Amino acid sequence: MSFEEAETIRERAEDFLRNARDLFDKGVYDLAAFNIEQYCQLILKYKLLVKTGTYPRTHSILRLIRELSKITREVETLLNDIVMLTKIEDAYIGSRYLPRRYERAEVEAMLRFVEERFRSVVENA
């Protein structure tokens, strides 16, 4: 994959995070949760692509973190927040296909975790 293609993935990830914040501010919590998940998934795939030239074809944030932590050990510290990561990973299905409504407080916690912890760990990997 070319540098341009990798940058497209990174830019798309950042767009998903920006969109998550906008949707949250508008009270559209289900789609905000989905956009948070998409950001996490894509930014991890971007990092793996830059470091290894490829990434696994999976939607699992936990699997992507485990793969990246084989290369960059500090990423493994994110697994200390496995409950939050699982909640975010579950948003891929829950926000799209299940008759589940996300609450403001839970999406706010997801967004805060991603903006304050997840993002900096992955960016510095």
Q: What is the pLDDT of residues 72-121, one digit of tens each?
A: 999 999 999 999 999 999 998 988 777 889 999 999 999 999 999 999 99
d(CA 68, CA 62): 10
How many domains are contained in the chain? 1
pLDDT band at 1 (very low <50, low <70, confident <90, very high): low
* Res. 28: pLDDT tops 90: yes
CA distances from 78 to 33, 81, 83, 112 (A): 19, 6, 10, 14
> Token digits for 13?
């990830």
How far apart CA 56 and CA 30 sit, in angstroms, is 26
The CA–CA distances, whole Å, from 105 to 5, 21, 41, 48, 108 equal 35, 14, 22, 31, 5
Predicted pLDDT of residue 60? 97
Give the DSSP H or E segment for 113.
helix 104-113
CATH of the domain at 88: 1.20.120.330
Range of the domain at 115: 3-123
Instruction: With a cut of 80, say whether residue 61 has pLDDT above it.
Output: yes
> pLDDT, tens digit, for every residue of 35-53?
999 999 999 999 999 999 9
- Looking at residue 99, its pLDDT comes to 80
